[in-house]
Amino acid sequence: MDKIKDEKVKAIVKEAAAQFFELESNRTSLLTVTRVEMIEHGRKAIIYITIFPDEMEASALEFAKRKRTELHEYLLKKTKLSLVPFVDVVIDIGEKNRQRLDSLKV
């Protein structure tokens, strides 16, 4: 996958995943899609998320992982991608660390 196409696919998947989680969530926590990483030549997408509040992280991650098949189907329906990647969802540890550093600076 060339660099420009890769960036476009990541942006499309990120936006669609954010819309999907907004539609599907029960609003007990705030789930934010922070970034998407494409691997295996675009056949797989790792969706990085953050959860607020922190104590809801485990249950929200479990929810997101449980919805992976439905998310893949949503991507098939809502995007015009010729190759819709299979998705996995993980907590964005880098973003959590950045937020922690920001809170220490204040």
pLDDT digits (tens), the chain, 106 positions: 578 888 999 999 999 999 999 999 988 899 999 999 999 989 999 999 999 998 999 999 999 999 999 999 999 999 999 999 999 999 998 877 776 777 777 6
φ and ψ of 35, to 5 deg: -165, 170
**CATH H-level, domain 3-105: superfamily:** K homology (KH) domain (3.30.300.20)
What does the pLDDT read at residue 56?
Answer: 94
DSSP string, 74-106: HHHHH---SSPPEEEEEE-HHHHHHHHHHHHH-
What does the pLDDT read at residue 57?
Answer: 93
Q: What is the DSSP letter of 40?
A: T
What does the pLDDT read at residue 1?
Answer: 56
Q: Is 62 helix (H, G, I), strand (E, B) or coil?
A: helix
